[in-house]
Amino acid sequence: MDEKRSTEVSLSDFLAKRATRVALEATEALEALEEMTAALVKAKRIEQGQAKGLVKALAEREKQGSTGIGQGCAIPHCSLDGLNKTVMMIARSENGIDFNCVTGEKVRVFVLVVYPPHLDQERRAVLGRIVHLCRNTNWLRFLKAARTTREINDLVSEYDNEG
C-alpha cells in the first residue's frame, strides 16, 4: 500500500476512545501491555476471554523486535482471532517505560493496535498512518501536554481532519 493510501485511513474509525489512558500505572513493558489490554476489555472492544491471549501475542511480537519507533513512541501490535475490525488505543506513561526501543529511550506514548488476521491491507494502512502520526513532532507535543482522555481523543480527530 502506498503512502497516499495509508494517509487516507481515518484513525478515529478504529480508536477505542473509552480505552484511552492519560497515565499508565505500569512501570515495566509487560505490565503496560496488560494494563492496555485490560482497558480494551473494560471498553468492551475485546472479550475478557481474549485478554490473556492478546497479552501473550503482544509480548511475543515484542520478542521479535521492539515496536518502539523513537521519539518516545511505541506501536505494540498483533493479530487476534475473533475480531471483526481493527482496534486501536492510545496510552501515555508519565515517567516512560523501558520498551527495549532501538534508540534506547523510554516510551511515553503507546498506540496499541489489534487487528483480525484476515484484514492485512487494513492493518498495513492503519499502522502506516500511526507511524506518520507518531513522527509528527507537533502532534506529539500536544499529546504529551493533554490532560484528559477527551483531549487525547480529540487530537486524533484533528489529525484525521488535517490529513
Q: What is the pLDDT of residues 133-154, one digit of tens each?
A: 999 999 999 999 999 999 999 9
Domain that holds residue 73: 10-162
Strands 107-115 and 77-79: parallel
> How many domains does the structure of the chain reveal?
1
- What CATH number has the domain bearing residue 44? 3.40.930.10
pLDDT > 90? residue 7:
no
More confident residue, 37 or 4: 37
Burial class (CB in 10 A: 0-12, 13-18, 19+), 143: buried
Instruction: Write down the H helix ranges in the chain.
Output: 3-7, 29-42, 48-64, 120-134, 137-145, 149-162
Q: Within a domain: residue 155?
A: yes
CA 45 vs. chain centroid, Å, equals 14
Q: Within a domain: residue 80?
A: yes
